[in-house]
Amino acid sequence: MVLAAGLGTRMRPLSEAVPKPLVELAGRALIDHVLDRLGHAGVARAVVNVHYRAEQIETHLAGRTAPRIIISDEREEILDTGGGVLKALDQLGPGGFFVHNSDSVWIEGATPALDAMGARWNEEEMDALLLLAPVERSIGYAGRGDFAMDSGGRLARRGDSETAPFVFAGVSIAHPRLLAGCAQGSFSLNGPWDRGIAAGRVYGLRHAGVWMHVGTPQALSEAESLLKGGDGQG
């Protein structure tokens, strides 16, 4: 599942004429960086949700065959991350699936991150597995961190702590049961994650490369500069 329905307000003015997933980084649309990476990881089918300037994304993706694209249309109502995944759940199959932000960019470590996530995924014990970037190795991120992680990989929220060591890097693996009991409509994945964390069924995996938070035109420029000096795998 590729989340591409957002309004991209923080990326303005670049996102005024095109949706954020079509903003270019290093000569390619952000969403193509994501889909190429998923294809390299062996993903054969990607569900892409659309809302803002949906027809531009549909036109851009019309020629893609690897992965094969299925559009989840949210023109009538933007559904946020959780609602978007729930709407598309019938297209995503009975087992675990990637959920990938359309603007998540990184330089790989020794093992490609999606391959490492697939190897770590345990469908029996996990409802979700989140890729986490160490705050000190994240580019363009000025927050206080999202999660702490124990020695077994189980996650805890930052809560009342001043900081947390890890930030969500924009991609996860989810099992459909993560959304059990959720009602159709607009909601964030944070709610299901929090319920899964409380049950000890949401895990994290430390990203071994460099994650880039590409949320603004300035951050996009910083990521472009970094990719030119890295391995080009955004």
234 domain-assigned = no
pTM of the model: 0.93
Burial of 218 (0-12, 13-18, 19+ CB in 10 A): exposed
pLDDT of residue 218: 82
Q: Residue 206 class from Cβ within 10 Å (0-12 exposed, 13-18 middle, 19+ buried)?
A: middle
Q: What does the pLDDT look like over 19-61, one tens digit per residue?
A: 999 999 888 999 999 999 999 999 999 999 999 999 999 999 9
Give the residue numbers spanning the domain of 165: 2-229
- Provide the strand spans (E) within the chain: 2-3, 24-25, 28-29, 45-50, 68-73, 97-101, 104-107, 128-134, 138-139, 147-149, 155-157, 166-174, 202-206, 210-213
Average pLDDT over residues 178-201: 97
pLDDT of residue 230: 53
CATH number for 62: 3.90.550.10
- 57 secondary structure, DSSP code: H
Q: What's the domain count of the chain? A: 1
Q: What is the pLDDT of residue 14?
A: 77
Give me the pLDDT at residue 156, please: 97
Q: Which two tokens stand for residue 38?
A: 């998923």
Residue-level pLDDT at 7: 87
Q: Please provide the size of the chain in residues.
A: 234
> Is residue 93 in some structural domain?
yes
Q: Residue 84 domain-assigned?
A: yes
Q: Is 97 a member of any domain?
A: yes
**pLDDT tens-digit readout, 104-147:** 889 999 999 999 999 999 999 999 999 999 998 888 888 999 99
**Residue type at 232 in one-letter notation:** G
Mean predicted confidence (pLDDT) in 163-174:
97
Is residue 229 predicted with pLDDT exceeding 70?
no
Task: Characterize the bridge pairing of strands 28-29 and 24-25.
Answer: antiparallel
